[in-house]
Amino acid sequence: MTQDLPARMLRLLSLLQTRRAWTGAELADRLSVTLRTIRRDIDRLRSLGYPVEGTTGQAGGYRLAPGAALPPLLLDDDEAVAIAVALRTAAAGVAGIEETALRALAKLEQVLPVRLRHQVATIQAAAAPLPVPWSTGPEADPSTLAMLAAACRDHEIVTFTYRRGSGETGHRRVEPHALVAADPVWYLVAYDTEQEQWRLFRVDRLTDPAPTGHRTTPRALPAPDAAAYVAARLAAAPARYALHATVPADAATARARTYSLPGRVHPVDDRTSTLDLAGDNPRRIAEQLLGIDLGPDETIAGTPELAPHLEELGQRLLRAARALTRPDEHGSGKDTPDDATDDNGAGDQ
């Protein structure tokens, strides 16, 4: 019994770190011990300096109180490596996180065993990120993301001021469900308690978020998961330009080649699908069309105002093609270096 105690206390501390609050019964069930044993182990953790608080009410139990005196977190090998790699790459779409991530990484690597430091370095060397222009966009505040993530985890109602696309602002009181990163935009999926309906909020348009301290029972999301809900809402959003076409490709191929949301592509049969493109940026729609062959003219319809934008992009490509096919007057044409492309012609992409 005495030999098993240290390991059990470590498991207890690990559980307390994964959630805001646990009931004594939940902890006892997870550790396969009695409530009396849980109470005794909690007292020993407190004597070691861990600020474990007791909570009251129907959902009363135990939680780790935040504070500067909190002893180090417990991480297993896989968790430590995952955190270090994530800090090295620094999450996209989060404002000002790069410098903060480097400071946190320096602290973590000081205490990592040599074997784990080697793993982190190996993964990072083989998976260096490539900054790309199309991944840039509105950035979310990291402290806001952290607060919303905690509220989602704890099912705690939050309030905030929200600015709509039209510029109109208003007060919101919601039950957070999940955060979804749709590169580079972060979305909060939440139930609006005043409108009594599920809503989608862009985190970069959200200000003055504040937890209320009021926890609620989680509601059933009207979708298989949060990502599916976001995809469906984005696909159904009104847009200035739209194009509908029947294309000679199966739905999976059409989605992949046009980078479309699931709700924008519908199968007709194994070789044909319908494509609904929409947005306020006509160039984006034109670029999507470049990735796939279109069917006959009579299967294409959409916003007439989109036509000149498509024609403009087509003329640009045509001029570039004509320039490439003209004889080289200066004889300066050069072959592609052997190391500029792989065996599959990846350099052409």
- Chain segment 281-308, per-residue pLDDT in tens: 888 898 888 889 888 888 899 999 999 9
Angstrom CA distances, 195 to 21, 166, 174, stand at 29, 19, 9
- Checking if the pLDDT of 193 tops 90, the result is yes
Residue 160 to residue 71: CA distance in whole angstroms: 32
Q: What is the pLDDT of residues 88-145, one digit of tens each?
A: 665 555 655 655 666 666 667 666 777 777 777 776 666 555 554 445 566 777 778 8
* 3-state secondary structure (DSSP) of residue 30: helix
* Neighbouring-strand partners of residue 279: 241
The single residue listed with the structure tokens 């093609």 is 321
- Checking if the pLDDT of 15 tops 70, the result is yes
Residue with more model confidence, 349 or 211: 211
The single residue listed with the structure tokens 């200066």 is 330
Please, are residues 306 and 242 in contact by the beta-carbon 8 Å criterion?
yes
In words, the CATH class of domain 5-64 is mainly alpha
Residue 147 to residue 41: CA distance in whole angstroms: 30
Pick the range with the lowest mean pLDDT from 17-21, 95-99, 311-315. Answer: 95-99
For residue 337, the model assigns a pLDDT of: 46
Q: Would you kindly state where each structural domain of the chain is located, as residue ranges?
A: 5-64, 77-128, 142-234, 238-325
Q: What is the pLDDT of residues 35-59, one digit of tens each?
A: 999 999 999 888 877 888 887 655 5
Which contiguous run of DSSP H or E holds residue 225?
A: none
Return the CATH architecture of domain 142-234.
Roll (2.30)
For residue 206, the model assigns a pLDDT of: 93
The percentage of the chain sitting over the pLDDT mark of 90, rounded to a whole number, equals 26
Residue 117 to residue 172: CA distance in whole angstroms: 44
Residue 212 to residue 183: CA distance in whole angstroms: 29
Q: Looking at residues 188-206, what average pLDDT do you find? A: 94
Phi, psi of 46, deg, nearest 5: -65, -40
